[in-house]
Structure 1
Amino acid sequence: MPGRNYFSILMACVLAGLLLFVSGAAAADAKREPVAKSADQIYWDMGDGTVFDSETRLMWMKRDYWQAQRGWVNWYTAMEFMQRMNNKHFAGYDDWRLPTPEEAKTLYNRRKRNIDKDGDKIFIDPIFPEGSGWGTWTSEERGGKAVVVSYKGNGGEAYQDKINGPDAFLRLVRGPLP
């Protein structure tokens, strides 16, 4: 059956091409060199508007919504912003998303010092530029509320109204990367 043999060869070629494409994309991420690293070598500034966390393997937008848009953001607008960044292929990627609460909490560290938009102390690595918001919306939602993770004081998380949450902010993430 020559037709069956041709189909098998064709499928093998398609699968090989797909494997090369996927491994090439992962290799492109792995081959990029940071332009700077945090004092503890955990956070890597990739020089393209992103910061890579070498422990969690998450890639964060270096500037948050406040720094990019100069305004607060409700949860629905945060979702629209995420879609815009994906449509623009921000930093070459189209898989940006809101972090989970657990992921967002990995940025909080009492030994790290930074300054938020109001000049108040927040506890995220100074590899992120000063002047950001004091927290971020997350993907966890319940009805008309979603979780916001704070980087002020003792940190923590709280459900806020998706539309009228008081002065909420956003920092998008992607990954974890291989």
Structure 2
Amino acid sequence: MKHLSGLLFGLLASHVLSVSAQTCDYEHTPVDTPDARYQIDNDGTVTDLNTHLMWQICPAGLSGKDCTNGKATEMNWQQALLYAEEQRGKKLAGYNDWRLPTVKELRTLSNRQCNYPAVNIHAFPNTPSYWYWSISPVISDGAYAWGIASDYGYDSWSNKLNKGLIRLVRTIR
């Protein structure tokens, strides 16, 4: 029985790893977010040299060099806005001007060359494939806001009551 349960655990673990592993099409899809575009700092941030935006490497709730400590914090849009506002009073990596990105800014992280997640995993390791909120509301319907589904990197809108993750940003110009 012990052998059977070990085998079952091994099968389940390998299935989960294969489902969540990033896949990339390097042959047919142009590189959206090459490694050279990012300056990875030792303070939990990464700077996009093209956009002059500094991002938190880990989504809210995760920490550590490879974002393996903790659990990503799911929150609705209102909670995401409040979280970002609370962070403005704290010094994260020495800065207190962190905010939720606009959908346009969030879109710059999408690496459509890869899926699950559609981001540069060298710059943003262990990024959960999930919905990420932006600060951008849907103008035509106040119940919705824009964000990015990081599994394939496409922007869309979602009901503000739904849960999502956040990655804070700041401008460095």
The structure 1 segments of at least 4 consecutive aligned residues displaced by more than 4 Å after TM superposition are none
Query: Which has the higher mean CA deviation after the structures are superposed, 71-80 or 130-139?
Result: 130-139
1:25 match? none
Q: How far did residue 87 of structure 1 move?
A: 1.1
Alignment of 1:81 onto 2:54: no
Q: Could you tell me whether the CA contact under 8 Å between 1:45 and 1:51 is conserved in 2?
A: yes
Task: Report the counterpart of residue 58 of structure 2 in structure 1.
Answer: 63
Deviations 1:16-45 (A, max 9, x none): xxxxxxxxxxxxxxxxxxxxxx96311111
Task: Identify unmatched segments of 5+ residues in structure 2.
Answer: 1-32, 64-70
Q: How many residues align?
A: 130
Which amino acid letter does the alignment assign opposite residue 75 of structure 2? V
2:37 — aligned with what? 42
| Equivalent of residue 125 in structure 2, options 129, 136, 144 | 129
Indicate yes or no: 2:146 matched with 1:144.
no
What is the CA-CA distance between 1:144 and the residue it aligns to? 2.0
- Structure with greater Cα Rg: 1
Counterpart of 1:174 in structure 2 is 170
Q: Select the structure that is richer in helix.
A: 1
The alignment yields a C-alpha RMSD, in angstroms, of 2.0
Letter in 1 for 2:151: K
* Compared CA separation, residues 55 and 82, structure 1 to 2 (3 A): same
> Matched residues in 1 for 2:37 and 2:114: separation?
12
State the TM-score, normalizing by the size of structure 1.
0.65
Q: Secondary structure at the match of 1:92?
A: coil
Does structure 1 conserve the Cα–Cα contact (< 8 Å) formed by 2:131 and 2:150?
yes
Unaligned runs of 5+ in 1: 1-37, 114-120
